[in-house]
Amino acid sequence: MGVKEDSGSGRSERDEQFHEFVADRRKWLLQTARLLTAGDPHLAEDLVQTALTKLYVSWAAFRRADNPDGYLRRVLVNAFLRERRRSWWRFERPSNRLPDRADPQAAPADLDPELSRALGQLPRRMRAAIILRFFHELDVAETAAALGCSTGTVKSQTARALDKLRVALNQPAAPRNPPAPNARSKEQELIR
């Protein structure tokens, strides 16, 4: 099966589909990337570009996916988790020409600097678990699928990350096992 080419623009049908997809989802990708990179807009742009490049290469598989949003999240999270492992800095070359600037209208609202700082203190997998669970509102199983780990790992990473965020944001810790609504405390029992 050949790829149809649009004779007017020189773009293939695949290119047109990808272009429409990027126009529709880029803001969402950038918001997620900003959270994953603890508010760093430059790393977020790099992360989105890396994820979109990987997505373009595997566009046919993405189009066949049962859960395209899950596929996209997995590509973005994998790119984020692997970003520090790659040796990209060895391949970058200085240039006299400034790079293109991102469209300011496409940028998500600025993150709270205190939250960005707190997120930046979390290890990458914990940060990814928090973003997927609370920003994307995924359940434990979906988060585990996006991270490529077990549900138990997601639960422990999320609990530890929340504890670290509370400390970083100077918030009191939530009780681990809240008492039942009608249960009396030990102090109440002793008073009786």
Helix (H, G, I), strand (E, B) or coil at 173: coil
86-124 in b/e burial notation, b at 16+ Cβ within 10 A?
eeeeeeeeeeeeeeeeeeeeeebeebeeeebebbeebeb
What tens digit of pLDDT does each residue of 30-68 get?
999 999 988 888 889 999 999 999 999 999 888 898 888
Residue with tokens 């940028």: 107
What tens digit of pLDDT does each residue of 91-148 get?
555 566 665 555 444 444 567 888 888 888 999 999 999 999 998 888 999 999 989 8
Half-sphere exposure of 10 (CA within 13 A, CB side): 0
CATH of 14-90+111-170, one of 3.30.70.100, 3.30.360.10, 1.20.140.160, 3.40.50.1820: 1.20.140.160
Question: Residue 21 CB: number of other CB atoms within 10 A?
Answer: 18
Burial label for 190, CB within 10 Å (0-12, 13-18, 19+), is exposed
Model pTM score: 0.62
Cα distance between the two ends of the chain? 81
Amino acid at 88: W
Tell me the pLDDT band of 179, cut-offs 50, 70 and 90.
low
Tell me the pLDDT band of 81, cut-offs 50, 70 and 90.
confident
Partnered with residue 12 across adjacent β-strands are: 5
Burial label for 131, CB within 10 Å (0-12, 13-18, 19+), is buried
Q: Which two tokens stand for residue 156?
A: 């422990």
DSSP notation for 9-50: TS-BHHHHHHHHHHHHHHHHHHHHHHHHTTT-HHHHHHHHHH
Distance CA(173)–CA(28), nearest Å, equals: 31
Q: Which two tokens stand for residue 157?
A: 């990473």
164, pLDDT greater than 60: yes
